[in-house]
A and B are shown apart, each in its own frame.
Chain A
Amino acid sequence: MTADSAAIRAFRPGLIQRVLRSPLGRNRAALVGLAILLPLLMMAFLPGVLAGDPNAQDLSASLRPAGVDHLLGTDKLGRDVWSRIVYGAAPTLLGALVVIAISGLIGIPLGLVAGYFGGLVDALIMRVLDALLAFPALLLAILVVATFGGGLLTVVIALGVIYVPAMARLVRSVTLVHARLAYVDACRALGYTDARIIFRHILPNLVAAVVVQSTIDLAYAILDIAALSFLGLGQQPPDPDWGSMLADARSYLLQNAWPAISSGVAIMLAVVSVNLVGDGLRAQLDPRERER
């Protein structure tokens, strides 16, 4: 590790100093968040580099505590907990990213259209979305996933749709403000089409708000995916996933707490890191926060 960072420094002098002096770098909490998040993302994208087969069973080595052979011990079937944690990162983290992507792809256009056109269109879109908000989010997700059968794909799609109203409401509220500004009137006077005004001129102004909302949603998406998977509705066995590992580990919690603690801490670290990075981004992007 030290050799690597030395090489980076030799290759691009001052890189680390530059990062530390940048606005985000001065935000200590966001840096800590990134320092936790990056290894987790590496687990999600390159699990093979960090660990062996997560499904390899060794019944003679069942429920071992953490040690040299098994970094975080073994579960009931003698599977290596570290490997399962590493391979379990992808369903939770990448799943949560897809949830945000879905909610953005549907929610941003809906919010833009509702906020820009107003009137009946606005009323129609927002009434439906508000009605969706009448459900406690995870409860609706439980209902949908239980209906269509468990699995990561169902979970991610269901959560993606359930997250649409929050994103759409935010985009709408910002669009409402912009639709009344002089530059939009100027665009209209120039004869631009509504679509061009919405997507080329208003949309770029929403980036900050959307990024901040996405990080908030990302933290919740990680928790929700883990919760559904804890209930046995997410990633199906034997493939590892933090939530289902925790559910499995509950039954032998008192004999070996390592699997439970490891998967619980993994979920927590993911959520903490996203929250810290999100707070940092908000401090940078939200003008109201910057004034404080």
Chain B
Amino acid sequence: MAGYVVRRLLALIPVLLFVSFVTFGLVRLAPGDPVTIVLGGRKVDPATAQALREQFGLTGDPITQYVAWLGRALNGDLGESYRLRQDVLDLIADRLPITLELIAISMVLAIGIAIPLGIAQARRRDSAIDYVGSLLALVGLSIPVYFAAMVGVLVFAVWLGWLPAFGSGEDPIDRLVHLLLPAGALALGTIALTSRMTRSSMLEVLSSDYIEAARAKGLPERTILVKHAFRNALIPVLTVTSLQVGFLIVGSVLVETTMGLGGIGSLITDAIQNRDYPVIQASVLLLTVAFALLNLVTDVLYAVIDPRIRYGR
């Protein structure tokens, strides 16, 4: 097991190098002199401009710049924001909790709703709940998260007045209440895919011989569903749910922008508007690393659930 994890971690290194190179390279390809963005239209003499270039690591050939940037990044120095003149890592650390909470709440909502829904659908195939669930899945897959958030505001904040429409709240409870609406909007797509997968995976398992045997033994339906069927139906469900993490990361960018939440997502969109490249670069890099690590964690989880996978690769 430990060997498997180590091998996977080693395989991650070239991928992360590639990711950092692409992120760095793209930003350097941007047209225009970065110094003009730092200055924001103010005119300065060439010596000051040169000093700024040095301060932001913009001197020398691109490869040297990349190596220097990578070295600093590995030491936790991701540069300084062009616009806010603040350490990028501090900016991100300030904003990260909201994004993480948003993603965590929507993951809990998604799994808490989708898995029971999928099991119920599989158990009563072609019943009303099966059709309603399938319809819900189709809508969940097709609705853009930001539109879902807006509809949520109209319905739950304006018409019903149950939830706040905007902002991220003060104390922890208030925060949770504020995040419920955006997290719900974000969860819809995951609910859709996870419930679909749970349904089809459960249907397949429920039609197998060993379930028939369990029924013949006279085991209670509940035990069959939860202990015998669901365990085996879990792997494809886990795959789909883990793939959703990327979707949730990107979705949180969109939802935060829509709902005025001060997380990483709105940090990125603000940075795009201001061409604040160090911020864009660092945020995209961190989110991608998080995405890669989460994928690794799911792969390891598979290996825990299904030992065959460890020996397969």
Contact = CB atoms under 8 A, between A and B. Distances in A.
Given A147-B27, A230-B254, A134 B144 contact: no
Contacts of A250: 146, 150, 258
Interface in A239-292: 243, 246, 250, 253-254, 257, 260-261, 264, 267-268, 271-272, 275-276
B272 interface: yes
Query: Of B18, B29, B141, B142, which is in contact with the most chain A CB atoms at under 10 Å from its CB?
Result: B142
Contacts of A271: 141-143
Interface string A90-108: 0000000000000000000
A149 B291 CA distance: 25
B289 to A, nearest CB: 9
Contacts of B27: 143, 147
B150 A253 contact: yes
A223 interface: yes
Interface in B249-307: 249-250, 253-254, 257-258, 268-269, 272-273, 275, 280, 284, 287-288, 291-292
Query: Of B23, B146, B246, B287, which is in contact with the most chain A CB atoms at under 10 Å from its CB?
Result: B146
Contacts of B144: 223, 226-227, 230, 243, 246, 264, 267-268
A279 to B, nearest CB: 9
B246 A137 contact: yes
Nearest to B189: A223
Nearest to B32: A149
B268 A142 contact: yes
Given A143-B280, A231-B269, A231-B272, A134 B292 contact: yes
B142 A219 contact: yes
A192 to B, nearest CB: 35
A246 B145 CA distance: 12
B15 A134 contact: yes
Interface residues on A, range: 35 or more
Contacts of A140: 22, 284
Contacts of B249: 136, 139
B91 interface: no
A147 B154 contact: no
Contact of B288 (A134, A223, A230): A134
A12 to B, nearest CB: 33
Interface in B21-73: 22-23, 26-27, 29-31
Contacts of A142: 253, 268, 272, 284
A230 to B, nearest CB: 6
B139 interface: yes
B100 interface: no
B275 to A, nearest CB: 8
A257 B15 CA distance: 45
A33 B29 CA distance: 42
B138 interface: yes
Interface string B132-172: 00000011011110110011011000100000000000000
Given A146-B280, A268-B139, A272-B142, A136 B257 contact: no
Given A136-B249, A246-B147, A254-B158, A131 B18 contact: yes
A227 B146 contact: yes
A251 B31 CA distance: 31
A223 B287 CA distance: 20
A170 B26 CA distance: 28
A148 interface: yes
A144 interface: yes
Nearest to A265: B147
B240 interface: no
B224 interface: no
Contacts of B143: 264, 268, 271
Query: Of B22, B27, B144, B249, which is in contact with the most chain A CB atoms at under 10 Å from its CB?
Result: B144
A265 to B, nearest CB: 8
Given A231-B269, A267-B147, A144 B284 contact: no
Contact of B29 (A147, A264, A268): A147
B19 interface: yes
Contacts of B29: 147-148
Closest 4 CB pairs between A and B?
A264-B147, A271-B142, A136-B246, A138-B250
30 contacts: A131-B15, A134-B16, A134-B292, A136-B247, A137-B250, A138-B250, A138-B253, A139-B253, A139-B284, A144-B26, A146-B275, A147-B29, A147-B30, A149-B31, A223-B144, A226-B144, A227-B144, A230-B146, A231-B269, A232-B272, A246-B150, A253-B150, A253-B154, A264-B143, A264-B150, A268-B143, A268-B144, A271-B142, A272-B138, A272-B139
Interface of A: 130-131, 134-140, 142-144, 146-149, 219, 223, 226-227, 230-233, 243, 246, 250, 253-254, 257, 260-261, 264, 267-268, 271-272, 275-276
Interface of B: 14-16, 18-19, 22-23, 26-27, 29-31, 138-139, 141-144, 146-147, 150-151, 153-154, 158, 246-247, 249-250, 253-254, 257-258, 268-269, 272-273, 275, 280, 284, 287-288, 291-292
